[in-house]
Structure 1
Amino acid sequence: MNARGPMDVQQLAAIDVHTHAEVSAKGAASLSAELGTASQAYFKVEGDRSPTLPEMAAYYRERNMAAVVFTVDAEHATGTPPVPDEEVAEAAADNPDVLIPFASVDPFRGKAGVRRARRLVEEYGVRGFKFHPSIQGFFPDDRMAYGLYEVIEETGTVALFHTGQTGIGAGVPGGGGIRLKYSNPMHVDDVAADFPHLKIVLAHPSFPWQDEALAVATHKPGVHIDLSGWSPKYFPPQLVQYANSLLQDKVLFGSDFPVLTPDRWLDDFAKLPIKDSVRPKILKGNAARLLGLTS
């Protein structure tokens, strides 16, 4: 029987909508050794920062924060099995006060993947799905993925897409075979048009396509932007401007933990010229509404 109580959204300091489960309970990593080492070098991660899911729960509980947590299923392209979605969901069920489970289903899994996505929602309570087009090797507007989007839209869960450059493969010869072109946020515009009730998050400041991301998010009501993967001190000026104005109800705090900690992100975010009325929306309110969390 779970000893932890339900999430008390009103008492939370923040909701981090972008964290990675990188190690399974059996010790298997979600990336190859080459890509994992390159990612840690890119983000200047010191020491071994690969927490287990229970350790992630304890980390966020100490900070009075909740965290959306997911893996990335890119087995078709990389040959590396992901941390199991079921394991992520079970850890969240054991720690419902702080962990919010997302899943990841490789679009190349076809109809079996579509069935799997529905089962993960109905039987495991996942609240959204993470896509990483550059690692998975597909354009988001490829019809191959539309069956997954149909399930996500129908179940009212969230589709979160990596956008822009990625630290995965950076510095490895040929970028480890990872192609940046797949993560231009304009490829998500067709998805937002074809699935008008789908809740979408464009993850990260979308370098070098920041203006494209802002255009899609201002044009399509269901599209949001999370601010993960970058220290806020490096945010482009137009992103800060839109977060403070037109997109103040659609921008979300995300860290990219464990490669970027919420502590560092929040310290740098505090120095940005964000309006007092907007700051709590970005840190918690917008995520709580998008995820359907009760206060």
Structure 2
Amino acid sequence: MKPELVLDAHTHVWPDKIAGLALNANPVPGLEPRGDGTVSGLDAAMDAHGVTASCCLGIANEARHVDSVNRFVADLASARRYPVGTIHVDLSVEENMASLRRHGLKTVKIHPLFQNFALDDPRLWNILEAFGSEISVITHVGEGGDARTNALSSPKMIYDISRQFPDLTLMACHFGGYKILDDAEEMLSGADVILETSWPPTLTTLAPDRVKRLIRNHGSERIVFGSDWPMTNPGEEIAAIHRLGLTDDETRQVLGGNLARFLDLSVS
């Protein structure tokens, strides 16, 4: 039997020498890492839990680290690892685009909690305008820090971006609103936004019926699986998707088919 196609839209990795420091530098209350954040640790987790390929997300908390982060993730590219780069609003549009193009990156991760800028920052919108349909975006949305940093992203901001930049492939992590799922459902259900499923410490903290309803209301063809490794166990998160009671076709779409289509991934 052909193995199940599982594409993980949301994993974090760092160089071995800083992985431990990076994991502990921005602790999220109530969450403990389930992995070590290294590339070899991710590979082992993928092998253990039947993940076909993973998006490896790079995040530069400061502008001076953008190009080195992009170089690191670009060097990870393989049949099993899809590199996702970074940008920062303290660099010009031209500097951000030059770094992405230099390293051949087609997708970026934005993380307002750690990068300390809002999703409605005009400087970010200038960068998104330059992306057009060339560069896709995966972004954190919702809580995970203090009140000030929590306010840097919201479902409303995601909705506004989707309306302003219709050519942009936009993926919103945590169903579009970590810890604020009511707001995300109200604002984003049916919107032209791809929603990603991670919900650390585990998706099982949400009622399965609610998750299934959310997926179907939004459209299963616009949902992608993400684990948020190393903060979760990918195997547990895959099992949680299987237990939602979706049809076999919906499950196949969510676990891999949709992301392959959105990012034009050649996987087998």
TM-score after normalising by structure 2: 0.84
Aligned pair in 2 of structure 1 residues 227, 184: CA closer, same or farther (>3 Å)? same
Query: What one-letter code is carried by the residue in structure 2 that aligns with 1:108?
Result: D
Q: Which residue of 2 aligns with 1:84?
A: 69
Q: Which residue of 2 aligns with 1:162?
A: 140
Q: Which runs of 5+ in 2 are unaligned?
A: none
Contact 1:232–1:268, Cα closer than 8 Å, also in 2:
yes
Query: What one-letter code is carried by the residue in structure 2 that aligns with 1:199?
Result: T
Query: What one-letter code is carried by the residue in structure 1 that aligns with 2:90?
Result: F
Aligned pair in 2 of structure 1 residues 25, 44: CA closer, same or farther (>3 Å)? closer
Within 1, Cα distance between the matches of 2:262 and 2:206? Answer: 23
Q: What is the DSSP-based 3-state SS (H/G/I as helix, E as strand, rest coil) of the residue aligned with 1:277?
A: helix
Q: Which residue of 1 aligns with 2:42?
A: 56
Q: 2:94 aligns with which of 112, 115, 125?
A: 115
Q: What is the DSSP-based 3-state SS (H/G/I as helix, E as strand, rest coil) of the residue aligned with 1:278?
A: helix
Aligned pair in 2 of structure 1 residues 59, 127: CA closer, same or farther (>3 Å)? farther
Contact 1:17–1:68, Cα closer than 8 Å, also in 2:
yes
Residues 217-265 of structure 1, C-alpha deviations (whole Å, 9 max, x = no match): 44532x1100113322223544420313542111110000011121121
Deviating 4+ runs (over 4 angstroms) = 79-83
| Residue 72 (1) aligns with residue 59 (2) | yes
Query: What one-letter code is carried by the residue in structure 2 that aligns with 1:265?
Result: E
Within 2, Cα distance between the matches of 1:278 and 1:128? Answer: 25
Contact 1:107–1:144, Cα closer than 8 Å, also in 2:
yes
The percentage of aligned residue pairs carrying the same residue is 20
Within 2, Cα distance between the matches of 1:25 and 1:258? Answer: 14
Within 1, Cα distance between the matches of 2:191 and 2:116? Answer: 25
Q: Which residue of 1 aligns with 2:230?
A: 258
Contact 2:189–2:217, Cα closer than 8 Å, also in 1:
no
Aligned pair in 2 of structure 1 residues 269, 104: CA closer, same or farther (>3 Å)? same
Q: Which residue of 2 aligns with 1:16?
A: 8
| Residue 214 (1) aligns with residue 199 (2) | no
Offset at 1:141? 1.8
Once the two structures are overlaid, the 10-residue window that deviates more, 211-220 or 195-204, is: 211-220
Q: Which residue of 2 aligns with 1:249?
A: 221
TM-score after normalising by structure 1: 0.77
Q: 1:18-57 residue pairs with structure 2 within 5 A? A: 18-21=10-13, 23-27=14-18, 31=22, 33=24, 35=26, 38-39=27-28, 42-45=30-33, 49-57=35-43
Query: What one-letter code is carried by the residue in structure 2 that aligns with 1:128?
Result: T
Query: What one-letter code is carried by the residue in structure 1 that aligns with 2:139?
Result: F
Within 1, Cα distance between the matches of 2:241 and 2:183? Answer: 23
Within 1, Cα distance between the matches of 2:5 and 2:190? Answer: 30
Contact 2:15–2:38, Cα closer than 8 Å, also in 1:
yes
Q: 1:168-179 residue pairs with structure 2 within 5 A? A: 169=145, 175=146, 179=149
Contact 1:68–1:102, Cα closer than 8 Å, also in 2:
yes
Residues 51-104 of structure 1, C-alpha deviations (whole Å, 9 max, x = no match): 32244235425534200011222226xx99897221111012xxx110001111
Give the root-mean-square deviation of aligned CA atoms: 2.9
